[in-house]
Amino acid sequence: MKIVIINGSARKGNTLTAINAFIKGADEKNEIEVIAPDKLHISPCKGCGACQCHKGCVDQDDTNPTINKLVEADMILFATPVYWWGMTAQLKQVIDKCYCRGLQLKEKKIGLIVVGGSPLDNIQYELICKQFDCMASYLSWDMLFQKCYYANARDELAKDVDAIQKLENLGKHV
């Protein structure tokens, strides 16, 4: 299976730790590519409609090559730290630009990893998961999992042996 992971974090912290644990489990049986939106030049969606949901974006930036990778993937893993009760702007930017090929992203297998600095009963995780639930419903996605982790210090998730093992197992079973 071809898995594309969108790393919504610009830092090398807990979200990357979660991604790497997932990859460790999934790497043996799958082709995996990680997209780092903070390293790309993607202009915000202008809502111009010129793309007509199948031709691609008119912007001459990294949008079309990035969205092409998502269209070609069998599974997309969205990974994000929590920024102000939501996903990061870097991840949201890529999702917004999916509008140009949205119909070609239907029925994908999807996973979501969210890492936040508040305890897991905080509403921030629910807000992000609900947003992905709405997208999954609209695009007929097969939501394989939504996993949320509390990790405040930069290397806190790496020290959580149980969480790392669960992420590796998650990768093995996709």
pLDDT one-digit tens code per residue, 45-71 = 988 888 876 678 999 999 999 999 999
| Residues of the chain falling short of pLDDT 70 | 53-54
Q: Which residues of 52-91 are buried (b: 16+ CB within 10 A; e: fewer)?
A: eeeebbebeebbbebbeebbebebbbbbbbbbeeebbebb
Strand segments (E) across 20-159: 31-35, 75-81, 109-116, 142-150
Of all residues in the chain, what percent are helix, strand and coil, respectively (each to 5)? 45, 20, 35
Q: What is the pLDDT of residue 55?
A: 77
Q: What is the pLDDT of residue 97?
A: 94
Please state the pTM of the whole predicted model. Answer: 0.96
CATH of domain 2-172: 3.40.50.360
Q: What is the pLDDT of residue 47?
A: 87
Q: What is the pLDDT of residue 54?
A: 66
